[in-house]
Amino acid sequence: MQYRLRIARDSALANIVIDTTLTDVTSYDLRRPLKPGAPMYWRVYATAATGATASTPRIGPLVVPAWATLTALADSGGNAVGDPQPTFTWTSPGVLSPPGPFSYDVRITRAATGVADSSRPACPR
């Protein structure tokens, strides 16, 4: 069985974001995140080895949630922070498994050198 997945930003599926063909699989992992807040529509087309075809109805609109929202940082404007251990908190959308729960990497870049610290702890949310 061959499947064609099309994801678009409009209900006519004209402004395509993803158009991919899959063989003998029934799931697809995004290779890049989709822009939060924008409506998305999708449809799957199937073709059997015999040539028979079928498709799902158009699904949507689905709105991609914000991946993470910063809720606290010593300087909420995003400027350099002098505190060596600033408070950094965020909210994350509730996502069931799969694909969640999300995990985040936090990277700290030193303003003086522009170099990121080598340790990047994974932060599950």
Q: Tell me: pLDDT of 125 over 70.
A: no
pTM of the entire predicted model:
0.58
For the segment 41-65, what is each residue's pLDDT rounded down to a tens digit?
Answer: 999 999 999 999 999 999 999 888 7
pLDDT at 123 over 60: no
Phi, psi of 9 (to 5 degrees): -90, -5
Q: What average pLDDT is seen over the chain?
A: 79
For 68-93, the pLDDT digits (tens) are 777 776 555 666 667 767 777 777 77
Of all residues in the chain, what percent carry a pLDDT higher than 70?
75
